[in-house]
Amino acid sequence: MLTILAITFPFFALVLCGYLAVRRALLPLAAIGGLNSFVLYFALPCMLYRFGAATPIAQLLDGSVFGVYLLCALIMVGVTVAMTLSHRIDWNNAAFGALVAAFPNTGFMGVPLLLALLGPRSSGPVIVTIVVDMLITSSLCIALSRVGSGGAQGSRVAIANALKGMVGNPMPWAIVLGALSSWLDWRLPAPLMQTVGLLADAASPVALFTIGAVLARSQMSTHDNAPLRDYVPVALKKLLLHPLLVWGAGHAAIALGAPLDPYSLTCVVLVACLPSASNVTLLSERFGADTARIARIILISTVLSFLTFAAAVSYLR
């Protein structure tokens, strides 16, 4: 356990550094947007491209990983909406609570963390989970968020807006280009690949630092005293129920004869053990949900995951 904590500590320490930098006013709030843009549009796409290009195409097109992870994401969304929808929490807030319960912080935290723990082979299953969360889980939850305000028409508009946002997101395109490079066995010219490598190497520290900065900004903008039952159970679902679902569904799939590699299953379970994705606060703010509640869920899941993630790694390894 101490060995695992020694590996994971630097990653969570960088998150804490970003948090303290904002809380101590060492980093201006206006700079957080620039950090986000650097990670989202430059560093992280280069990292994903490099992983995709270096990963055999069969791993990137693993239908068993895709099916198991998607099934569990759908269950998480359904369970969370059913358990939180009430007179206090409407469809909009229930849907974004479901998204934050089913969407791990894979891009900003999971990719570098699992690479350090499990090696380069983890990139294939991890990329599959990113595709599921970005293309399906997010679209579904955004559509559900519109049920209470615009019915089917509102859901269709929300899905259309979500798809437009995905088209402008460089991460899926980086994954696609990396997969094509792997399939065609094509490599960028050396000077260009070195540039991509420099940006990719910057992704992990800047992304982790940015997570902490975003969490601090969200906490500083929160002034109400919401009851614990509105956000603590959702954070616990993310850290406990989600990985248990993936673990159970994966082993059931293997027992039924699915060609699911145990190593890939371990990678996907650890993805599910990650805390909630920090970018959900941006989506919730855009669609008028209770961003303070979402920020609390992300903060609690991130803090608790320092121990829960290490415990999961210790058990699975």
Decide: helix, strand or coil at residue 28: coil
pLDDT tens per residue, the chain (317 residues)?
777 888 889 989 999 999 999 999 999 999 988 998 898 889 988 988 998 888 888 888 899 999 999 999 999 999 999 999 988 889 999 999 999 999 999 988 888 889 889 988 898 899 999 989 988 898 888 888 877 665 555 556 656 665 665 566 787 888 889 989 988 888 899 999 999 999 999 988 998 898 889 888 877 876 666 678 888 999 999 999 999 999 999 999 999 999 999 999 999 999 999 999 987 887 787 788 888 888 889 989 999 999 999 999 998 87
> Which structure tokens are listed for 7?
């590996």
Decide: helix, strand or coil at residue 104: strand
pLDDT at 27: 95
Decide: helix, strand or coil at residue 276: strand
pTM score: 0.84
> Which structure tokens are listed for 136?
């399906």
Report d(CA 146, CA 137) in Å as an integer: 15
Task: Specify whether the CB–CB gap between 146 and 286 falls below 8 A.
Answer: no
pLDDT at 278: 82
> Which structure tokens are listed for 199?
């940006």
Task: Specify whether the CB–CB gap between 146 and 158 falls below 8 A.
Answer: yes
Report d(CA 219, CA 225) in Å as an integer: 12
Task: Specify whether the CB–CB gap between 135 and 166 falls below 8 A.
Answer: yes
CATH number of the domain located at residue range(s) 2-316 in this protein: 1.20.1530.20
Report d(CA 197, CA 84) in Å as an integer: 43
Cα end-to-end distance, the chain, whole Å: 10
Residue 242 CB-half CA count within 13 A: 34
pLDDT at 65: 96
- Residue 68 CB burial class (10 angstroms; 0-12, 13-18, ≥19): buried
Angle formed at CA 71 by CA 238 and CA 65, multiple of 5 degrees = 95
Task: Specify whether the CB–CB gap between 180 and 124 falls below 8 A.
Answer: no
Closest-CA residue to 126 (of 108, 103, 110, 102): 110
* DSSP H/E element including 98: helix 91-102
Task: Specify whether the CB–CB gap between 1 and 310 falls below 8 A.
Answer: yes
Domain borders along the chain are: 2-316
- Residue 256 CB burial class (10 angstroms; 0-12, 13-18, ≥19): exposed
